[in-house]
Amino acid sequence: MIFGRKKKTEPDSSQDEDVSEVVQEDAEDADEAEDAVDDETEDGDLDEDEAVTDEWALFDVSQDWREDGPFDIDEVDLSADEVQRIDLGAVIITPETGMNVKLLASPQTNQILHLTVEHGPQSRLQMTVFAAPQTGDYCAEIREMLIAQTPNAKVVTLAKGPFGTELRRVVTATDEKGREGFAPLRDWLVAGPRWVLNARLIGQAALHAEGGEAAEQFEEFVRNTIVRRGDQAMVPGSVVPLSASDKK
């Protein structure tokens, strides 16, 4: 943790950051990881009855999953904070040393829709901010939307994650040499004021049994993220665009 919500004690810390790079890349490409995946899965399968759906809904509201972050911009006071961050408009991030941050823009609109964070040769995280209604938890709707985007997924399950119900998928993927295989994805969904933050683990960090240190560092990265959704009217489920980086 590098800060807390307003009116909480805020410990001092400082971290280095790498330079962000804007790249043109289709969002679907970010869904692919290089490694083949062990298709071992855990917890609830999505083909079960409505009682299971209720169980995951209850799990989502069972506690404050954002107590230690990620935070909304209105929940924190950065005025006396000397931590070096990267301001990307809809999110303010604090990469750790060794993390490489890239921005992914839509080739059709040139809007920056996602950011990725690479940590090590085989793990990365993709982050997206979705607009949500003013009231209610919109994570379940985003989760269904993500599932619909991968109709050919080999495995789709739900599990208990660090931010509530976690979506796990195994999807087909093609590496840089054209070889076909399978890639694991883990989606963390965190609901805030009029937004849902989607943090997707790809590659080694997405292997539940082997995610280890990479997954833990990505979790800390997500918790240190500040979301600035803005006041603009947006259709629930639409992506809140990012902007080119400014140091903060």
Two tokens, residue 234: 């947006």
Is the confidence at residue 147, as pLDDT, over 60? yes
* pTM greater than 0.85 (yes/no): no
Span 60-89, average pLDDT: 90
Is the confidence at residue 106, as pLDDT, over 80? yes
Is the confidence at residue 187, as pLDDT, over 90? yes
Span 93-113, average pLDDT: 92
Please work out, in degrees rounded to the nearest 5, the angle formed at the alpha carbon of residue 100 by the alpha carbons of 104 and 40: 80
Is the confidence at residue 75, as pLDDT, over 60? yes
Is the confidence at residue 224, as pLDDT, over 90? yes
pLDDT for residue 209: 61
Asked if residue 104 lies in contact with residue 77, where contact means CB atoms within 8 angstroms, the answer is no
Most confident listed range (31-45, 157-171, 203-217):
157-171
pLDDT for residue 60: 84
pLDDT for residue 104: 94
Of residues 207 and 208, more confidence is placed in 207
32 class by beta-carbon count within 10 Å (0-12 exposed, 13-18 middle, 19+ buried)? middle
Is the confidence at residue 87, as pLDDT, over 80? yes
> What are the domain boundaries of the chain?
32-208
pLDDT for residue 47: 52
pLDDT for residue 6: 52
Asked if residue 86 lies in contact with residue 7, where contact means CB atoms within 8 angstroms, the answer is no
pLDDT for residue 63: 84
CA–CA distance, 132 with 192 (Å, rounded to integer): 9
CA–CA distance, 186 with 6 (Å, rounded to integer): 30
pLDDT for residue 34: 38
Quote the distance between the C-alpha of residue 76 and its chain's center: 20
Of residues 80 and 183, more confidence is placed in 183
Q: What are phi and psi of 174, to 5 degrees?
A: -120, 130
CA–CA distance, 150 with 90 (Å, rounded to integer): 26
Task: Decide if domain 32-208 falls under CATH 2.120.10.
Answer: no
CA–CA distance, 45 with 222 (Å, rounded to integer): 26
Determine the straight-line distance between the first and last CA of the chain, rounded to whole angstroms: 18
pLDDT for residue 21: 39
Asked if residue 101 lies in contact with residue 20, where contact means CB atoms within 8 angstroms, the answer is yes
pLDDT for residue 24: 38
Please work out, in degrees rounded to the nearest 5, the angle formed at the alpha carbon of residue 34 by the alpha carbons of 212 and 90: 70
Enumerate residues 6+ apart whose C-beta is below 8 A from 65: 162, 163, 164, 190, 191
Is the confidence at residue 15, as pLDDT, over 90? no
Asked if residue 143 lies in contact with residue 191, where contact means CB atoms within 8 angstroms, the answer is no
Percent of the chain with pLDDT over 70: 75
Return the minimum-mean-pLDDT range out of 12-21, 63-72, 84-93. 12-21
